[in-house]
Structure 1
Amino acid sequence: MSTPERDWAAFVTDTDDGRAHMDLAVDGITCAACMYEIERGLQKLEGVEKARVNLSSHRLSVDWDQKKTNPSPIVDLLQKLGYKAYPFDPAQVKSRGDVAGKEILRALAVSGFAAMNIMLLSISVWSGNASDIDNETRAFFHWISALIALPTVAYSGRIFFRSAYMAVKTKRLNMDVPITIGVLLATGLSLWQTIQEAKHAYFDSAVMLLFFLLVGRYFDHLMRRKTRAFAENLATLKAESAAKILEDGTTLDVPLSKLTVGDRVLVRAGERISVDGRIAAGSSEVDQSLVTGETLLQFVAKGDLVYAGTMNADGVLEIEVTAAAKGTLLDEVNRLLETAMEGRSRYVHIADRASQLYAPVVHAAALLTLVGWIMLGMAWQPALVIAISVLIITCPCALGLAIPAVQVVASGLFFNERVLLNAGDAIERLAGVDTIVFDKTGTLTLPEASLSKDHGLSPEQLDLAGRLALSSSHPLSQAIARATGAQQILPDAKEVTGKGVEAIVDGTQVKLGSPAFCGVADAKLVQARDRQPDASFVAFQLGEADAHLLPVGQFMREGATETIQKLKDAGFSIEILSGDHAGAVKHAADVLGVDCWKAGLKPQDKINRIEELKAQGKNVLMVGDGLNDAPSLAAANVSISPVSAVHVSQAAADAVFLGDSLAPVMSALTISQKARGLMNQNLALSVIYNLIAVPFAVLGFVTPLVAALAMSGSSIIVTLNAVRLRMIAGTTTQPDQEA
């Protein structure tokens, strides 16, 4: 049934050149093959110019020519392919993912409980067959097993049955098709044999098969779950309204969508700027660190440009709008971020690559086994038993567990090293890194401004400075207040707008504020900036004495120098890409011993450099924290962000590290390289297992029960091999570039 165009028109974005764009959330995507099928299918539609699926978030982005098609054929084709589409909403995608996870977990619990009970009955039958069990007792046990197995298979197997049905319906194969055939054939044959009071039934095989498959499916679900709700997180930086200045001079709060180019808005001290524009009146200092990476507060006055998402530290600004609801720097960052994330979603997991040929090979082996034995004169029932054994013994339990089992163990090790994973395939991508790109502000340095230990004040003077700072809302004053631990403000302190704070203490005037406010000579300020180019300076003056310059800035993280040196010793290429000014970046690079650095970069500049490195064959790890880093975090092969990063950057990163130390970056690379080695080992074990087991099954030496036990054994082996990661990850303190 065709989907009415009006149902989707509200979710289509038009462009000036006659193109249209739509983002959809797609249910039913299970592996890379699904991604390719959707993209190839849509690109065959007339008018569709681009179709990209994000394998992690199941987000489909489609661009088309409005003169040639509309949303209806796109959604209809998805339905014909067996996929259900919804308008993309990050919150709803997360909600649907949580529902799917709970469904798998419930099915896993039911199959596990049933498998234990059926195995108890099966053990009684096996031992009885070897001794003196009578036919009536054996039949009774088989019927009890059937009563447990049939509802279990129906309930726990529906996850695989649905996927297999949609695959067959759309004339394609996936890994769930042989699983479904094997489970249903084993259950159906067992029921038939129970009715005939045969000696053997294989309910235990079917239920154990489901249990181990669901374990692998749940592991995979845990590792694929994402926290990339960047669309929601951008709202924390982007105000939804602004104070528009009317013709009579009054102000009125209006939605950003009601502002046009040339309108004027009022931004008070302490407010976040909601538009891109040029200052028409007023002056202030603006905190741009989250947007541009610039650490120092930027003095702005009439004629200067300011951007949405930055913070007005002090002073009142009138801004002439150049972009409001659309076209702002925030929107540009969002666009770059989405494009980069789509590009990174092209990465295909190791397990997905290994499983692409699995389904047709298994089907062919089982079918040829059945036909071959019948052609050799065997009755259909024993021939079917052998074919079922082939399906079960080749069932992808070991393959399904090979990667997730290692991921789960590695995740625990990452947690111990204060690293949290956002992406299931991050381990694989971290293991291939050879080049590391660091942002400076908030990444190599601490995220919050703090007072340098070289402030030169006595304890009594420091206490006075801290108490004065409590009376100011200026970010630098707040940093001083935090550093001193001041609790009580000076009772008669008063703030001089745009300059600082002053008070009278025991008849002596005390000042804290800008160097000019405290009478600091320009030459003295220049000398201080030469010594510490990455610091801002607040002046403190007691009475008529010369003022002290207090360095306030974002200083190096704990262990930054040692970590960078270890990474260089391990053979990694290191670069610093920052939006901060050249003096601060050069100072940081000199301290850390990094030769390659660039300053004053915009988000697109960082992406361009990363793409240049990738074009040279480099495998790039990006470590960053600011809003301007989010697109480059997504553009890199893999990325890590500190927990202090803005939400957008955390969401775009593959991993987040906790604490003030940079050492977890080193630990993440070490663990990942060891984990990738075990993943490859597990896949090799799975292949060897099949090469040995399949011939025995084809020749009829394996019953479905033995096949289920062999399949379970292979799953246990790859799981135990994964647990070895706990031992081998601790055998080295440096990443092995040859791992």
Structure 2
Amino acid sequence: MTDCFHCGQDVPKNIDLSVKINNQVQPMCCPGCQAVAQAIVDSGNESFYTYRTDLNETPEFTLGQLPPSVSEELALYDNPDVLKELGQQVESGQRIQLMIEGITCAACAWLIEQQLQRLPGVKEANLNLTQHRLSVTWEQNQTPLRQVIETIYSLGFKAQPFETDTFQQQLEEEQKRALRRVLLAGLGTMQAMMFAVPLYIGELAGILEKFELYFRFAGMAITTPVILISARPFFKGFIRDIKTKHLTMDVPVSIAIGGAFIASIYSTFVGGEEVYFDSVCMFTFFLLVGRYFETRARLRTGEAGNQLNNVLPRSVTRITTDDEKSEAVIPVNQLNIGDRIRVLPGATIAADGIIQTGHSSVDESIMTGEFLPIHKDTGDQVLAGSLNVENPIEIEVTALGDNTQLSTVMSLLDRAESEKPRMAIMADVIAQYFVGAVLILAAIVFTAWYFIDTDRAFWITLSVLVATCPCALSLATPTALTAATGALRKAGVLITRGHVLESLTQSKRIIFDKTGTLTLGQLSIESVSIAPETELDQTEALAIASALESHSQHPIANAFQALSLEKRYVAEDINMVVGQGIEGKVNGQLYRIGHQGFAAIDSELNPDEQRQQIFLSADDKAIARFVLSDQLRPGSQHAVSSLNQQGIITEMLSGDHSYQVEKIAKELKLQKAQGSISPQGKLDYLSGLNNQDHSIMVGDGINDVPVLARAPISIAVGSASDLAKTHADVILLNQNLKTIAQLLQHARKAKRIIRQNLSWALLYNTSVLPLAAAGLLPPWAAAIGMSASSLIVVFNALRLNSLAKL
């Protein structure tokens, strides 16, 4: 395995990145390292690599002081070119995703967020506790990125720009280190117990004093590496918390472990009555086992989102047709808009585009959750990240990188995971104050037992510190939210705001737009009427109308363009009148198609004022009338029925005329429907509703954007405009309205599980406290109880990994 020349991490097998440094091509593990290394070379600072002394590990440092080598590297992040590569421009400044190392609990996340938000120009700092990813929005001209990262370093954490492969590699390394610490602590526990048992049975076994001293020193020798290596993360967290004057669970844990170890050493040298080296090892082992499995379970729930970043191929086959058609395999980052690429069966599509040649089935499950491949033909859109199943196709690239729908989904997913609902914030605050209360209580318990039984005072205090660590309380909400949003994403439901699941449980009303939401927004020809004494039949009329409409981009034209006709005509001398219709010549005859007033002054065909219709005319006389209708979106009837059964008020607001609205409302059994409503009318209607209803608005078009932005909860279907998606709290990537009912059910289930977790955490901590304070709970039992409490919370949250079927 090759090492990255810049950061020293292993270079993944599928990565082929490099930078020429000191006239030698050096391997890089990710685009981030490549961008920073290239900036070093371009600025003439290649000597940085000659004189640097640290590579894989960032040296330890004191608060506010960084090694010069680290400072020099961080300064490169302010290079405009590097910053453009690593971050993205948003309305309020710039945004970047950072990977954070050293986080142990929710209080760590709170500390980082609070410290960053105090910096001038930092608009937002949200840390995803599950994936240890920090999203920062800031203004570079007020606070450079270097200062943002230095602040994180000064708090005792490590930060670097997020890259999927590096992040995954970092997680794997972290898991390996954690496993090594657990194994060392487990081995130390077994060996320490071997020397502790003779000490416990003591006089019963007839052990002489010289052997007792030997057993004590042997226990101390075995426990020392456990303290220095396995328990090191706890002590590092303790030192960080003391420097920053902020309490986390590492404080009571470190006091308990360190205090027991020091007391046992003192007792060994002065000949005290008891030593507890075995308890120290056992305590450390159980804490590490609990944290290891808890981390594994939480990271597993976040893997689905990370997989999205890994689906794109590293190279593509580009087709050039300058002089003669040729093909070349190039890196994806060399593609441009308008390039044509060939995608073979079994290959992943690298960019959004339009099929120019060929047809195939495309698996879009990574985006929509729909496991069945979708047939795609020439002219159809395909998305980056989807899989070509059957035949080779040629695609013209329409979007790359951050502009693809896959990238949009990922940015919205990151936004949702970084935002915290009210219950999560409340749990974090409670956990912080709880640690302080535990320390005060421990001092009181020690004082009381010092006068009651001096020999037991320290060990009882130790049990209090261990048993009441608020780990489960900190994990109760974030693990449940991560599992719930992960399951919904797999089903094709993307949560883009952190408050959604909590707000949905209070929703009493859902309001649908009609066209493009409850219906497909794809008009079809319902019936054709031919005027009396007209030589044309229906086939001829449809062929002429199709020839005229082939020159239009209006939605009505799609109804004619989609027809399968045996006879085809070509229209000439086309003249389009905006808002009225089209005129042109077919076989030398002038025809018009459009509204009655435009197409036919004289008509023997009686118009149906309640239907959507257009006329075909020749010589100002109507020769055919086409009645158009929209099609219901598949699953809409099931969706509305399920929502009605859940007691949700179902309504529809549409800009269409009353006939279509009434027809669809009756067909779907909506409880209320209104037609001819303007965008402002929808806003006024929503403003007049009771805020306690937490109404849900479902829409798709640009005209729905104001009401989607105003609604307490907004949902956009997958085919919605990009503007509608960015203002929506939820996006139905699978375009299946049935999943709205599943979303509501899952939100209620998530709320129940969060309440169960919080109740269990509070019940455990409050019930175990009297036992520990009364001296009925030894330290090793307290460690088991605390670890088990955290695991119960995590595994209860994992029940949200699957959706209930309707």
Scaled by the length of structure 1, what TM-score is found? 0.59
The whole-number CA distance in structure 1 between the counterparts of 2:293 and 2:541 is: 59
| Separation in 2, partners of 1:516, 1:83 | 74
Quick check: 182-191 or 349-358, which moved more?
Answer: 182-191
Is this contact kept in 1: 2:438–2:465, CA < 8 A?
yes
Q: How does 1:274-353 map to 2 (within 5 A)?
A: 347-349=422-424, 351-352=427-428
The correspondence for 2:623, drawn from 546, 550, 575, is 546
Aligned partners of 1:422, 1:569: CA distance in 2, in Å? Answer: 27
Q: 668-677 or 621-630: which moved more?
A: 621-630
* Pick aligned residue for 1:114 from 181, 196, 207: 181
Cα gap change, 1:641/1:398 in structure 2, threshold over 3 Å: closer, same or farther? same
Query: CA 1:478 to 1:125, structure 2 compared with 1: closer, same or farther past 3 Å?
Result: farther
Instruction: Return the letter of the residue paired with 1:432.
Output: Q
8 A Cα contact 2:512 2:699, kept in partner: yes
Q: Residues 402 and 537 (structure 1 numbering): CA distance in 2 closer, same or farther, change over 3 Å?
A: farther
2:766 counterpart of 1:691: yes
Please report how far the alpha carbon of residue 664 of structure 1 lies from its aligned counterpart in structure 2 after TM superposition. 0.9
Task: Pick closer, same or farther for the CA change 1:108–1:179 going to 2, 3 Å.
Answer: farther
CA contact 1:186–1:203 (8 Å) conserved in 2? no
How big is each residue's C-alpha offset from its partner over 1:492-514, in whole Å with a ceiling of 9 and x where there is no partner? Answer: 5547141267655xxx9797953
CA offsets 1:271-298 (integer angstroms, 9 cap, x no match): xxxxxxxxxxxxxxxxxxxxxxxxxxxx
- Provide the C-alpha distance between the structure 2 equivalents of 1:562 and 1:524, rounded to a whole number of angstroms: 42
Distance 1:728 1:564, change over 3 A: closer
Stretches of structure 1 lacking an aligned partner (at least 5 in a row) = 2-6, 9-19, 64-69, 85-91, 228-336, 734-739
- Kept in 1, the 8 Å contact 2:492–2:733? The answer is yes
Q: In structure 2, do the counterparts of structure 1 residues 374 and 607 end up closer, same or farther at CA, with 3 Å as the change threshold?
A: farther
Query: What residue identity is the alignment partner of 1:200?
Result: D
Paired AA for residue 595 in structure 1: K
Please provide the CA RMSD for this pair. 5.9
1:479 to 2:553 alignment? no
- For the 8 Å contact 1:468–1:502, the answer to whether it is kept is no
What are the within-5 Å matches in structure 2 for residues 583-602 of structure 1?
588-589=664-665, 591-592=667-668, 593-595=670-672, 597=674, 600-602=677-679
Unaligned runs of 5+ in 2: 1-63, 65-77, 80-90, 206-210, 306-411, 531-536, 577-581
Larger relative contact order (CA 8 Å, sep ≥ 6): 1
Classify 1:215/1:609 alpha carbon distance in 2 versus 1 (closer, same or farther; 3 Å).
farther
- For residue 496 of structure 1, give the secondary structure of its aligned residue in structure 2: strand
Structure 2 CA distance for partners of 1:619 and 1:509, relative to 1, 3 Å? same
1:650-661 correspondence to structure 2 within 5 Å? 650-661=725-736
Deviation digits for residues 424-469 of structure 1 (CA, Å, limit 9, x no counterpart): 55333222222223333322222x5242555689996699579748
> 2:464·2:769 contact (CA, 8 Å) conserved in 1?
yes
Query: What corresponds to 1:644 in structure 2?
Result: 719
Q: Is the partner of 2:454 in helix, strand or coil?
A: coil
Alignment partner, residue 692 of structure 2: 617
Deviation at 1:665, TM superposition (A): 0.9
Code of the residue aligned with 2:508 in structure 1: it is D
Task: Provide closer, same or farther for how the CA distance between residues 367 and 221 of structure 1 changes in structure 2, counting only shifts above 3 A.
Answer: farther
- Alignment equivalent of 1:441, drawn from 506, 509, 515: 515
Percent identity between the two aligned chains: 25
Q: Pick closer, same or farther for the CA change 1:373–1:699 going to 2, 3 Å.
A: same
- 1:574 corresponds to 2:650: yes
Q: Report the Cα distance in structure 1 between the residues aligned to 2:519 and 2:707, rounded to whole angstroms.
A: 18
Task: Say which SS state the counterpart of residue 715 (structure 2) adopts.
Answer: strand
C-alpha distance in 2 between matches for 1:644 and 1:187: 62
Residue by residue, what CA displacement relative to the aligned partner does 1:630-651 show, whole Å, maximum 9, x if unpaired?
5654554433332222344434
Q: Which residue of 2 aligns with 1:563?
A: 639
Q: 2:442 aligns with which of 366, 375, 379?
A: 366
Residues 110-509 of structure 1 aligned to structure 2 (within 5 Å): 110-116=177-183, 118-119=185-186, 122-123=189-190, 125-126=192-193, 147=225, 150-154=228-232, 157=233, 161=236, 168-174=242-248, 177-178=251-252, 199-206=277-284, 208-210=286-288, 212-213=290-291, 347-349=422-424, 351-352=427-428, 354-355=430-431, 357-376=433-452, 378=454, 383-407=457-481, 409-411=483-485, 414=488, 418-423=492-497, 425-446=499-520, 448-454=521-527, 464=543, 468=547, 471-472=550-551, 474-476=553-555, 479-480=558-559, 483-484=562-563, 490=568, 492-494=570-572, 496-498=574-576, 499=582, 503-504=586-587
Structure 2 CA distance for aligned equivalents of residues 55 and 609 of structure 1: 37
CA–CA separation in structure 2 for the residues paired with 1:634 and 1:72: 30
C-alpha spacing 1:608/1:193, structure 2 compared with 1 (3 Å): farther
- The superposition leaves residues 576-609 of structure 1 with CA deviations (integer Å, 9 ceiling, x where unpaired) of 455667776566545543426475444x775665
Matched AA of 1:428: E
Residue 607 of structure 2 is aligned to residue 527 of structure 1: yes
Is the CA contact 1:26–1:60 (under 8 Å) kept in the aligned structure 2? yes
* CA gap 1:420/1:170 in 2 versus in 1, 3 angstroms: same
In structure 1, C-alpha distance between the alignment counterparts of 2:684 and 2:267, rounded to whole Å: 66
What is residue 404 of structure 2 aligned with on the other side?
none
Q: 1:491/1:575 Cα in 2 relative to 1: closer, same or farther (>3 Å)? A: closer
Distance 2:584 2:138 in 1: 56
The offset of 1:674, in angstroms, is: 2.4
What does residue 755 of structure 2 align with? 680
**Is the CA contact (8 Å cut-off) linking 1:108 and 1:215 kept in structure 2?**
no
Q: Is the 8 A contact 2:603 2:622 kept in 1?
A: no
Task: Tell me which amino acid in the other structure corresponds to 1:687.
Answer: L
Structure 1 contact 33–356 (Cα < 8 Å) conserved: no
Could you tell me whether the CA contact under 8 Å between 1:607 and 1:635 is conserved in 2? Answer: yes
Q: Contact 2:702–2:724 (CA<8 Å) still a contact in 1?
A: yes
CA distance in 1, matches of 2:542, 2:297: 54
Cα distance in 1 for partners of 2:583, 2:219 equals 87
For 2:126 and 2:658, the matched residues in 1 are separated by 37
Residues 53, 124 of structure 1: alpha-carbon distance in 2 compared, 3 angstrom cutoff: closer
* SS at structure 2 position matched to 1:702: coil
Deviation at 1:666?
A: 1.0
